[in-house]
Every structure is written in C-alpha cells, then in structure tokens.
Structure 1
Amino acid sequence: MKLWKIVAMALMASLVMASVAMAGPAYDNIMKTKVLRAGIMTDSIPGAFYNEKNEWVGMDVDIAEEIAKRMGCTLERVAVNNKTRIAFVQQGRIDLSVANMTHKRERDKSIDFSITYFFDGQKLLAKKGKYAKASDFVGKKIATMQGTTSEINIKNLLKSLGDKDYEKNVISFQKESECYQALKMGRVAAWSTDSTILLGYAAKDAGKFELVGDFISDEPYGMGLPEDDSKLRDAVNFALQDMWKDGTYMTIYNKWYGPDTPYYFPMTEQIEMWP
C-alpha cells in the first residue's frame, strides 16, 4: 500500500476517534444542545403513527415530548422501525428509543433500558367469529414483524401446539401496516403481536376483527438508552416516575387507551416508584 494511503487512513481513524471522544456521554450532549433525540415508530397505532391529517401522534410521541420537557429540552423526533430502533441507539443517532420495545435480557446486552413504562402482552388478531382459541391456528399462516420478540413467541407457540410447519407458517413482515394488510387480504389467518397494536389496527375496521385466545406472553416496554450513561438513564426514569406521581402519565394513557377511545386497554400495572 502506498505511503500516502496509509497516512490518509491513519488520519481518518484519528479524526473518528477524536469525534467520538468529543461526543462524550449522551446526557452531557443533551444538556449542552438542549435537544433530546428520540427514536419513535411511525405506523404503530396508537403508540406512534401518522393520523388522517398527516400528524405524527400517539402515546409514545406524547410520552417522549413530556420527558424532553421535564429535562428542559426540545424533542427531535427520529423515525425508527423494528430493525433500527436498537441500532440507532448504538450508533449515537438517537439518545432515546421510545418504540414499543419489550425489555429483554438479550437486548440488554446491546443497550440499556429505562424502567418499564408500558405493560402489554402478545395476542392473535383474526376475522371476527372465525376462530376461538390459539390451537385453531395450527397449520394456518400467521403474520408477524421480522426481528421482534413476537416472531419468536408465535413460532414457539405453534411448535408447542404441534404445528410441524411452524417455521414456514409464520410470515414475517417489516411493518405493522404490512401485517394488517396481509390479514385483510386473507393472505394470513391471523396477525400476532402486542395486543395494543392489534387493537389499534382493528379499530380502523370496527367489527371485522377480534383478539383470539389468551395472552401468549408478557411484554413490558422499556425505553432504549445508550450503554453506561447513568445520568441519562436516571433523568429518564425520574421523569417517568414524576409523571406517574403527578398524574400526567395517566392523562396521556387515557388519551390513547382510556374507555372513551377506540383502543380501550385498562391499566392493570403500576410504574416502579423509588422513594
């Protein structure tokens, strides 16, 4: 290799290292810029989606806005999906991932998490009146999202129920909207993911679809955070706990999941509170 190429590569490497060093912990950068960059989904009804007015709305949007406000920052929304919501945290492209993400030990190897801020569980959505229980879907095609815990859970369920073709009977898509479209078109018998997402999409065609069977799993949502940035993790956790304590959390929750919404989902848990 020519000497000038070696020098150029060394210079580029040193610049990258310097930029990383200058970047410092995410919390310090947030406090300096007064901007909190949050990764948020775009088609996860009613967690985060574009409404009929093309407005980016949802519970995750409101929660992220409130956290930024309590940290004295403005919120910069960054669109993420199931594949990018962790990678963007790792790459420093976002400071916080508020993206209906189940807190799993395996994921904790890659990023840190906040306390649980939402409690959900996985179910099956199918045409109303056609199926009664999970075992009715053995041998049927089921949609889910690629690279999610839902994908793993539904395969494990079908396998446990004796479906010999459970691997190929689970059809994985990139987006929630694609799963719902497959269900509407009859390409799959059911769609399996977190129940609140299923309720959100089912509300688009009221009376045509229903949740079937018991919960397949518990899905405690956490917010993804950069590894080893305790100041940022504390700031987010304190904001969540303060929101719960002063009632702001339930105001936001009821706006999207209360009894007067199309997505009614009773709150049955409590956010972890520290004295």
Structure 2
Amino acid sequence: MRLVKLLAMASALTVLMASVAMAGPVFDRIQKEKKIRVGIMTDSIPGAFYNEKGEWGGFDYDMATEVAKRMGVEIERVQVNNKTRIALVQSGQIDLSVSNMTHTRERDKSVDFSLTYFFDGQKILSKKGQFKSVKDMVGKKIATMQGTTSEVNVRRALKEAGDPNYETNVISYQKESECFQALQNGRVAGWSTDASILVGYAAKTPGQFELVGDFLSDEPYGMAMPQDDSALRDAVNAAIQDMWKDGTYKNIYNKWYGPGTPFEMPLAGQIEMWP
C-alpha cells in the first residue's frame, strides 16, 4: 500500500512539474526575445489612429507602449481591426491586443483579458438638433461596426423603442471611418458605438454632431491575450496597476480625454488595485 501511495505521489509530482515547465509559453518567448507584439487599431480616434501627418498615436497606443516599457521589452506594433484583433491573438501572430475591446463572457471563451483598463459606454451620434433619444430614431437607419457588441446593443435598443424593423435598420460597416462617413453623407441618421470613439470623430467637425440619449450599455475595455498564460496576464495587470498608482495612467488619460482636449470625457471608473 505504501508503494502504491509513493508511486501515486511521484506521478502527481511529474504532472505538476510538466505543467510548470509548460506554463506561460508566450510570456517565456517574450522574455527571451525581449519583444512583445501588440495589436493596435488605426482609425479609432482618439484610441489609436493615424493623424494628418501619418503619425500613429492615441490612448491605446500610449497605453500599449507603456505596458511594454514596464515589462522591460520592446514593442512591435501590429495593425488590427474589429475583425482581426481576436483572430491574430488566437493564431499567435500577436501577443496582446490593445484595441478598445469590450471584455465580454463570450469573447472570454476565445481569449484571456486583463483587468479593465478603460471605462466606456455605448451611445448614438447624430447631427445636432435632430434627435433627443432612441425613441426619436425609430424607423431611421443607424450605422454600427460589424461583429461588435455595439451591433447587438443598438438592435436591442431599437427593438425596445418599438422599431418593427430593428434588424434591417442597423447598417453594419467594417471600419469606424466608414460609419462616420455614412453619417456625414446622410446615408444613416445615427452612428452607435462607444462614446469615446464617437466623441473623437465628432471633434473633426466641431458643432455639427452630438450624442443622443442615455447610454445603451457599459463597455469595460480589456487587453486581450492568449488563453491560459497566467504569467503574461499577471505582468500586464501589474503594469496597468502600477501606472494607475504612480499617476502615469491619469497623465495618459488627460492627454487624450482631459479638460481642454477635443475629446474631453470625465474619467468614469477606477482601476482595480490589488494589495
């Protein structure tokens, strides 16, 4: 009986050692190469975008850069969009996606997420003075991004407002810039996505557009990464928390959303801190 117990313990120890040896393969590679590949958007103003000079920047851009710095590695920035940001993580082409992505339970089945690093909510943008609430937009076309939580939420909002054609009245586009263009050209009466994105695009033409009605949802953003790599997740979370603790987070936030900026939006939450 003693021999059986010893064999069982040895077997369990072997399994444990094997799991430890295999833990964190992505994090191990990042540390070995001293480089992290981060997916960042290119037309999500002011999250991450190219300005008039062709320079890449934005809140997510700065956050990703600072996370890499605090991990002690170089950053390789990779362009992503709403359709590719999860697929590239899953395929191993990027290690981290910092791309204004709402952390949902459904997405959590495909990738892991950091703690919430940005607090947003979904609204509708329309031409100034035309609408006051979602109910005023029943029967109107509303643009949104294909394959996003915004697409689901705005359909639900129109349905609850009594729109019998809530499915067909939501027009989905591939890019945020395409949504804004459709709104500018009058092909749609509104554009619905995260408020921070809407504020960014509205700032291009001051005084022409405004946010309509109440928030349609809460949108907690998380940084996406490969499943089951706790070492990577811990390193990213520690970097975010340290940025909040020493004031770097608020400096970056105020640079893009603070008082006096074109995208002014009060900070709506607080980073989760661990002792």
Normalised by the length of structure 2, the TM-score is 0.91
Q: Report the secondary structure of 1:87's partner residue.
A: helix
Question: For the Cα contact (< 8 Å) 2:120–2:268, is it kept in 1?
Answer: no
Q: Report the secondary structure of 2:193's partner residue.
A: strand
Q: What CA deviation, in whole Å up to 9, does each residue of 1:13-61 have, x standing for no partner?
A: xxxxxxxxx9x71101100111110000000000000001100100000
Q: What are the within-5 Å matches in structure 2 for residues 79-118 of structure 1?
A: 79-118=79-118
Q: Report the secondary structure of 1:205's partner residue.
A: coil
Q: What are the within-5 Å matches in structure 2 for residues 64-75 of structure 1?
A: 64-75=64-75
Letter of the structure 2 residue corresponding to residue 68 of structure 1: A
Deviation at 1:134, TM superposition (A): 1.1
Deviation at 1:268, TM superposition (A): 2.3
Letter of the structure 2 residue corresponding to residue 211 of structure 1: L
For residues 231 and 131 of structure 1, the distance between their equivalents in structure 2, rounded to whole angstroms, comes to 48
> Runs of 4 or more off by more than 3 Å in structure 1?
none
Q: Report the secondary structure of 2:204's partner residue.
A: helix
* Match in the other structure for 1:51: 51
The RMSD of aligned alpha carbons is 1.3
* Match in the other structure for 2:184: 184
* Match in the other structure for 1:6: none
* Match in the other structure for 1:203: 203
Q: What are the within-5 Å matches in structure 2 for residues 2-151 of structure 1?
A: 25-151=25-151
Indicate the percent of aligned positions where both proteins have the same amino acid: 72
Asked whether 1:243 is paired with 2:243, we answer yes
For residues 176 and 117 of structure 1, the distance between their equivalents in structure 2, rounded to whole angstroms, comes to 21
Q: Report the secondary structure of 1:210's partner residue.
A: strand
* Match in the other structure for 1:9: none
* Match in the other structure for 2:162: 162
Q: Report the secondary structure of 2:250's partner residue.
A: helix
For residues 162 and 128 of structure 2, the distance between their equivalents in structure 1, rounded to whole angstroms, comes to 24
Normalised by the length of structure 1, the TM-score is 0.91
Q: Report the secondary structure of 1:220's partner residue.
A: strand
Letter of the structure 2 residue corresponding to residue 95 of structure 1: D
Q: What CA deviation, in whole Å up to 9, does each residue of 1:135-160 have, x standing for no partner?
A: 01100000000000000000011111
Gap runs ≥5 in structure 2 = 1-21
Q: What CA deviation, in whole Å up to 9, does each residue of 1:242-266 have, x standing for no partner?
A: 0000000000000000011000010
For residues 230 and 92 of structure 1, the distance between their equivalents in structure 2, rounded to whole angstroms, comes to 16
Aligned pair count reads 255
Q: Report the secondary structure of 1:54's partner residue.
A: coil
Gap runs ≥5 in structure 1 = 1-21
Q: Which sits farther off after the overlay, 157-166 or 232-241?
A: 157-166
